[in-house]
Structure 1
């Protein structure tokens, strides 16, 4: 298991009313353009999605998440 200091994390909130396919597309773009991967996703009863993205620290020259 790798140490968590090798990763940087970015919390995101996807508002309620965002379709599942739109949320998947947003996260896919973050992955392709910024080197982020999904670390955790929580779906709340009101429809809000709380997302934690992570990427290796050595990729910090790439842009941050944009949502």
Structure 2
């Protein structure tokens, strides 16, 4: 999943947006690309949930 964050979004607002995706969507940060104009492209990936055997 890619999210484009424009340059006029504050760092705190971007952090809050990414935190919500991580908590509620089970995503984790994969890569951040920052462009010369100040905008950012954030790539998220699905968090892998390891299941332990109960046997």
TM-score category, normalised to shorter length:
0.7 to 0.9
Following TM superposition, where does structure 1 have runs of at least 4 consecutive aligned residues deviating by more than 4 angstroms? Answer: none
Q: Name the count of aligned residue pairs.
A: 49
User: SS of the counterpart of 2:9?
Assistant: coil
Establish whether residue 40 from structure 1 lines up as the match of residue 12 from structure 2.
no
Q: CA RMSD in A?
A: 1.5
Matches within 5 A, 1:1-67: 10-56=1-47
User: SS of the counterpart of 1:12?
Assistant: strand
Kindly name which structure, 1 or 2, has the bigger radius of gyration based on alpha carbons. 2
Unaligned runs of 5+ in 1: 1-9, 59-67
